[in-house]
Structure 1
Amino acid sequence: MTIQLSTAVRNALLDSIETAVGASPVLKIRTGAAPASPAAADSGTVVATIALPADWMANASGGTKAMQGTWADDAADASGTAAHYRIYAADGTTCHLQGTVTATGGGGDMTVDNTNFAAGQKFSVTGYTLTAPNA
């Protein structure tokens, strides 16, 4: 039998992720494939960097946890095609989360309004939700 978690445990698990990453983390959107794990060295070119809000995720509910506040930048760092993201502690160097990036409706772990970044272009994250096991 597969281990099953109550909704309360799933919510606590998700809320603990935000606690472990900490307040005001840094989101970097990059080109190319994601590294093998958050512990592996960065890969690809950083096309965008966003300092996320201090309270960057809503409280978990029903085994999911969604982005909170506005995740946007008035000027992308470089030109390139967004393919993966990494979320770092506020120090900008300790990676805790990573996943795929697609345009809205594209099915990525994180969605943005446009994956073709031009240096200086304004962009926004349109969706980001964490889902706990068996939610």
Structure 2
Amino acid sequence: MAQQFSVAVRNARLDAIEAAIGASPKLRFYSGAQPANCAAARTGTLLAELSLPADWMAQAANGAKAFAGSWSGAGAAAAGTGTTIGHFAIMDAAGTTCHHQGKVGATGDGTADMTVDNLNLAQGQAISVTTFTQTDGGA
């Protein structure tokens, strides 16, 4: 039988993730496939870096935690005239340590870990995160 946790425990685990990463982390969008894990070297081209709000995730509720505030920015010079986003990395505030990574999809993509309003990002083009929710297991 699978282990199960109360909603209070699941919420606490999710809130601990935000606390461990810290305030005002960097969200980076890269082309190509994500690395094997967060400790591996970043792969692909850095297409955009967004500075997230100090309190970047809402308080966990019912075993889930959604992004808070507006997560938006613009394409970097390396995006050129348009490059497809492949994955994201949430880095610490200094931008030196990856703490979370995953697949990026267009709004409505149910297989993506995070969705954005436009997957093909060009230099200077605006980009906004439309969905990002973490759900803890063990329900």
How would you bin the TM-score normalised by the shorter chain?
over 0.9
Q: Where do 5+ consecutive residues of structure 2 fail to align?
A: none
Q: What TM-score results when the alignment is normalised by the length of structure 2?
A: 0.94
Q: Where do 5+ consecutive residues of structure 1 fail to align?
A: none
1:134 to 103, 116, 138: 138
For 2:95, give the aligned amino acid. Answer: G
Query: What secondary structure, in the 3-state scheme, does the structure 2 residue paired with 1:10 have?
Result: helix
Q: Is the 8 A contact 2:2 2:138 kept in 1?
A: no
Deviation at 1:63, TM superposition (A): 0.3
Q: Which residue does the alignment assign to 1:121?
A: 125
Q: Deviations over 1:99-126 (max 9, x none)?
A: 0000000121000001001111011010
Q: What TM-score results when the alignment is normalised by the length of structure 1?
A: 0.97
Distance 1:106 1:114 in 2: 12
2:115 to 111, 124, 133: 111
Deviation at 1:134, TM superposition (A): 3.0
Distance 2:127 2:24 in 1: 19
Distance 2:56 2:127 in 1: 18
Q: Which residue does the alignment assign to 1:43?
A: 43
Distance 1:104 1:134 in 2: 27
Distance 1:81 1:90 in 2: 25
Distance 1:119 1:106 in 2: 24
Distance 1:125 1:101 in 2: 10
